[in-house]
C-alpha cells in the first residue's frame, strides 16, 4: 500500500513539475529558444491579406526596422511587433497577436488560428484582420491584448 502511494505521489509530482515548466516557465524558455515564436512570426509574415503576404503590405508602406516575436505571460499567445518608419521618417509600432486553437476570450468559438491586430496602425494596414464591425479607429491608441479587441466587437454587436 505504501509503495502504491509512493508511486501515485511520484506521478503526481512529475505531472505538477511538467505543468510548472510548461505553463509558468514555458513562455520564457520559448522566448530564448524561439521555437513557437519563430513559427508564429513566419505564419504572420506570410499570412494572406488581399491576396498578398502581410509582410509585403508592410514593406510596401513602411521601412522595416525590426520584427520581434515573443510571449508575454501566456505560452499560447505570441505577440509580434514590427517597428517601422513611414516615408516621412516617423516611427510606428505595428503589433499583432497570433494564437492557435485558443481563443482570446472563453466565450469565443475555437478556431485553428487567430491573427489579431493590437495597434491601430496594424489595424489600419490590414483591417480585414479585425473582428466584424470593429474599425481601426475603435482600437485604443495604446496596445492591448487581443481579448480587448474581441470585447470591442462583442460590445458593438450588443448595441
CB 135 within 8 A of CB 127: yes
Between 85 and 145, the more confident residue is 85
Q: How far apart are alpha carbons 140 and 9 in whole angstroms?
A: 48
Q: 91-100 and 113-117: which strand pairing? A: antiparallel
Tell me the β-bridge partners of 64.
Answer: 84
Residue 128 DSSP symbol: G
CB 16 within 8 A of CB 8: no
Cell 524561439 sits at which residue? Answer: 34
- Residue 84's CB is within 10 A of a number of other CB atoms, namely 22
Q: How far apart are alpha carbons 31 and 21 in whole angstroms?
A: 14
Between 19 and 94, the more confident residue is 94
Res. 6: pLDDT tops 80: no
Helix (H, G, I), strand (E, B) or coil at 70: strand
**pTM, rounded to two decimals:** 0.83
Q: What is the pLDDT of residues 122-158, one digit of tens each?
A: 999 999 999 988 999 998 877 778 888 888 888 888 8
CB 43 within 8 A of CB 69: no
Q: Please work out, in degrees rounded to the nearest 5, the angle formed at the alpha carbon of residue 103 by the alpha carbons of 98 and 106.
A: 150
Amino acid at each position: 500500500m505504501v509503495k502504491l502511494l509512493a508511486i501515485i505521489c511520484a506521478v503526481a509530482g512529475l505531472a505538477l513539475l511538467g505543468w510548472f515548466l510548461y505553463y509558468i516557465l514555458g513562455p520564457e524558455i520559448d522566448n530564448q529558444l524561439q521555437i513557437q515564436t519563430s513559427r508564429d512570426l513566419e505564419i504572420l509574415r506570410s499570412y494572406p491579406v488581399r491576396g498578398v503576404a502581410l509582410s509585403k503590405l508592410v514593406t510596401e508602406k513602411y521601412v522595416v526596422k525590426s520584427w520581434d516575436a515573443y510571449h508575454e505571460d501566456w505560452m499560447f499567445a505570441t505577440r509580434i511587433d514590427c517597428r517601422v518608419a513611414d516615408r516621412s521618417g516617423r516611427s510606428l509600432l505595428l503589433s499583432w497577436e497570433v494564437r492557435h486553437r485558443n481563443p482570446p476570450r472563453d466565450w469565443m468559438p475555437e478556431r485553428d488560428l487567430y491573427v489579431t491586430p493590437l495597434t491601430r496602425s496594424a489595424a489600419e494596414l490590414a483591417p480585414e484582420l479585425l473582428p466584424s464591425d470593429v474599425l481601426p479607429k475603435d482600437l485604443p491608441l495604446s496596445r492591448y491584448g487581443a481579448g480587448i479587441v474581441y470585447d470591442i466587437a462583442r460590445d458593438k454587436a450588443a448595441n
